[in-house]
Amino acid sequence: MGPLGVAREVAGPPGVERVLAAWIATAEHATTRLPTTVFSLTAAAAPRWRLPERTLDRLTADPVTWFEAEHEALAGAVAVAAESGLAQSAWGLAAAMVPYLDLRCHLGTWRRTHTLALSAARAAGDRYGEAAMLRGLAQVSLYQDRYEEAAAGFTRSRRIFHDLGDTRAEAISICGLGAVSQFRGRHARSLGHFRRALAMFLALGDQHGEAYARQAIGRACIRSGDLAQASESLGQAMRLAQELGDAHREGCVCVQMGQLHQAMSFHRHALEIFESLGDRHCGAYALQSLAGLQAAGGELAPASAGLERALEVFRELGDRSGEASSTQLLGELHRSAGRTGLALDYLRHASALRRSLPV
């Protein structure tokens, strides 16, 4: 039973605002129990109504299962809030869903709820809500390889957060700009964004943001060839992740460590973490990296199996960048095994996928 049903039992026939207040309080409580919430934003002024603690703890004991059962109802509640002109409730609930939608790659629901909440925030003149929804939509666009759209959304949200004086939220948007630059292959610009965000997180004492930024700097340094700086940044990110008990961030850092040191142990540990957390998207990238090392070491069968698994996930999630890189690696693997015709098919498809990606 979701908060709507419980609210009816506890308080009798509730009004729309009371039901929405229960949804937001419960969703935010569940979100705090998810493995990754580093860039969560909240609607401070949105009404909240907490269910009895025993009921709340029972509902969200397994937060992923709760979200899986309720996320369509939550999306419906965002629509009700937006249609009722309750902008704070609309975007607050949409924002509370992001860590789960990100973990499970429900990009359609993410885009739909944020678009509705964005319209409500703009109609109400809620600039913070507008910026929060712009940032969320930009993240979806980034995942869908729509780089111009993502850059525009992160830029607009950053300006609004800056005008409103919210340094943390501004740093979050700057990280988004860094990610866009990285996907476009503009490593120097990417590094500049991540270093700027790191300085802001350090000034705030935000260790979760710091861990993300240090990991991102390490990743950018690997790609630019500055391996000494990469090692230093990733080492700092790893220590922070472990101190914070952030298993998801530890897994992300392990993937970069594996690339830096060409060590399968890091990739296997990252894969174990992502599988235990149910993060198939990050798990696919860990599989891809592990397969690259396996192929280089002559372990062609496990490398091929891992790449096919990663490719299936990338296709399912619509990640064309991941699909292109996995397809390329499969082509190279088949070529090294002497399967020339099959290799050519994969390599041609990889080339077509890369041409379809924006620059």
pLDDT tens digits for range 271-280: 999 999 889 9
Q: Average model confidence (pLDDT) for the chain?
A: 91
pLDDT at residue 237 greater than cutoff 50: yes
CA distances for 138 relative to 24, 147, 149, 270, angstroms: 23, 9, 7, 26
pLDDT at residue 2 greater than cutoff 70: no
Q: Would you state the torsion angle of the CA atoms of residues 339, 309, 251, 58, taken in this order, to the nearest 10 degrees?
A: 180
Mean pLDDT value of segment 250-266: 91
State the pLDDT at residue 266: 92
pLDDT at residue 306 greater than cutoff 50: yes
User: Residue 106 has which token pair?
Assistant: 């429900």
- C-alpha 169/C-alpha 345 separation (Å) is 45
Name 339's Cβ contacts closer than 8 Å, sequence gap at least 6.
none
Residue 203: exposure state from Cβ atoms within 10 A (0-12, 13-18, ≥19): exposed
State the pLDDT at residue 14: 57
CA distances for 230 relative to 9, 253, 256, angstroms: 55, 11, 9
**Reported confidence tier of residue 6, pLDDT bands at 50, 70, 90:** very low
- C-alpha 217/C-alpha 240 separation (Å) is 14
State the pLDDT at residue 359: 62
pLDDT at residue 104 greater than cutoff 70: yes
Which range of 202-206, 265-269, 285-289, 319-323 scores highest in mean pLDDT? It is: 202-206
> What's the one-letter identity of residue 155?
T
Other C-beta atoms lying within 10 Å of the C-beta of residue 5: 12
Q: What is the pLDDT of residues 61-98, one digit of tens each?
A: 899 999 999 999 999 999 999 999 999 999 999 999 99
Mean pLDDT value of segment 226-246: 95
Q: Any idea which of 110-114, 177-181, 261-265 has the lowest mean pLDDT? A: 261-265
Mean pLDDT value of segment 231-245: 95
Percent of the chain predicted with pLDDT > 70: 96
CA distances for 70 relative to 4, 74, 145, 292, angstroms: 11, 6, 28, 38
pLDDT at residue 13 greater than cutoff 70: no
pLDDT at residue 262 greater than cutoff 90: no
Q: What is the pLDDT of residues 17-31, one digit of tens each?
A: 888 999 999 999 999
